[in-house]
């Protein structure tokens, strides 16, 4: 194929043209500072509150429970540090996004009691281990779905544990907004993080849901914007953009996920036929757009580079560095050996992908895997 095939939608998505048009309109028409008392400032404020209302309705939350941030990483940091600043015990999992994992490690270094819950070989949290360690827990943070292997966590079952033990519940929902129906109130969550660029919105935009009554210490101090919880002049075009993106994603969600799931299953079926290949993550409880495979004896970075030469943009879960060849913490947590983990490949589909593109990838991947194995030092 002559054009680039973008199969890395879990990393970021192409901003929707309708989102860009909305952002452009707001930037040109309502460019005032939302903290200003004059009419231009009030128009900007009105634009922001309209976006807040839209997002609240789409996520099953009150508008006043929606707080705007610069992205998923800030939202995760805000949630964990904002709660744990005055608390002691946090439980999270070994496969969280680095925004949660590194923050948890930071809190542990500061003297907090932090436990990293295990997951099974499919990447699903071990609930018995969680329940056993819940005594005196202040905050539990478990992602909705994993960004590498796509496994969807049992948030409902975790939330039900709040009836037995008193703790706050946070979820990084960066990978699921626009893909899975979310109703924050019904899910009994206290905090949830979102990122606009994962659902065809602008980069540098995010949301933190804070359930009414939950008190957080601010991460950023200053002029007291966002009801004194997150200071800094609001990015009104970005806020309008993330609201428009979520609105569009929700409107087409069912149809789009059905389409992507069919392409996903076609990829899984075909890649499973490659000798010494392994699907990473849960077979059924996984995101409709996620395919993650390991190929024994193949070096992941070489696989990604050669696919790139063919115009196919994908990623690897191996995250190797030239210094220490450290494998992905997610693949390590699900029990993959180094030789399997280093040969990993993630394909994350999006709304702009087609069956024709999937068929081209199905043709090229086995050819490249076979070629790399011929020069691999690993014996079969």
CA distances from 94 to 38, 233, 316, 327, 335 (A): 49, 35, 19, 14, 12
Q: What is the DSSP letter of 151?
A: B
Strands 206-210 and 66-69: antiparallel
Place of tokens 């806020």: 239
Residues 6+ apart with CB under 8 A from 33: 41, 44, 233
Characterize 315-350 residue by residue with b for buried, 16 or more Cβ atoms within 10 angstroms of its Cβ, and e for exposed. bbbbbbeeeeeebbbbbbbbebeeebbbbbbbbbbb
| Joined tokens for residue 86 | 């005055």
Q: What's the rounded Cα separation, in Å, for the pair 122 and 283?
A: 8
Q: What's the rounded Cα separation, in Å, for the pair 229 and 220?
A: 8
Quickly count: other Cβ atoms within 10 Å of residue 232's Cβ: 15
Judge whether 364 counts as a catalytic residue: no
Sign of CA dihedral 31, 249, 229, 99: negative
Choose the catalytic residue: 127, 320, 339, 362. 320
Nearest to 98 by CA among 331, 285, 330: 330
Active site residues: 320
């Amino acid at each position: 194929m002559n054009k680039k095939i973008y199969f890395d939608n879990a990393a970021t998505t192409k901003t929707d043209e309708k989102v860009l048009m909305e952002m452009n309109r707001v930037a040109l028409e309502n460019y005032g500072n939302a903290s200003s008392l004059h009419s231009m400032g009030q128009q900007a404020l009105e634009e922001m509150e309209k976006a807040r209302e839209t997002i609240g309705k789409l996520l099953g939350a009150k508008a006043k429970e929606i707080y705007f941030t610069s992205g998923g990483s800030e939202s995760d940091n805000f949630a964990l540090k904002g709660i744990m600043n005055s608390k002691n015990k946090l439980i999270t999992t070994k496969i969280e996004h680095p925004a949660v994992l590194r923050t948890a490690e930071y809190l542990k270094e500061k003297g907090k009691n932090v436990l990293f819950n295990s997951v099974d070989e499919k990447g699903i949290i071990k609930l018995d281990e969680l329940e056993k360690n819940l005594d005196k827990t202040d905050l539990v943070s478990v992602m909705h779905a994993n960004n590498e292997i796509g496994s969807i966590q049992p948030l409902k079952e975790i939330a039900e544990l709040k009836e037995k033990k008193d703790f706050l519940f946070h979820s990084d929902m960066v990978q699921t907004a626009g893909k899975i129906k979310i109703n924050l109130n019904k899910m009994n969550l206290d905090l949830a993080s979102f990122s606009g660029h994962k659902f065809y919105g602008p980069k540098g935009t995010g949301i933190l849901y804070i359930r009414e009554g939950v008190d957080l210490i601010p991460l950023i101090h200053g002029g007291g914007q966002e009801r004194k919880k997150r200071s800094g002049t609001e990015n009104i075009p970005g806020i309008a953009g993330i609201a428009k993106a979520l609105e569009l994603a929700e409107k087409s969600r069912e149809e789009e996920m059905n389409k992507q799931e069919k392409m996903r299953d076609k990829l899984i079926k075909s890649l499973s036929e490659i000798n010494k290949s392994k699907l990473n993550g849960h077979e059924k409880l996984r995101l409709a757009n996620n395919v993650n495979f390991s190929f024994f004896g193949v070096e992941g970075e070489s696989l990604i580079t050669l696919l790139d030469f063919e115009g196919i943009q994908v990623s690897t879960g191996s995250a190797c560095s030239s210094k220490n060849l450290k494998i992905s913490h997610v693949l390590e947590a699900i029990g993959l050996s180094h030789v399997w983990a280093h040969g990993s490949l993630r394909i994350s589909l999006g709304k702009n992908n087609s069956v024709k593109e999937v068929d081209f990838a199905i043709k090229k991947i086995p050819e490249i895997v076979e070629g790399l194995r011929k020069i691999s030092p690993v014996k079969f």
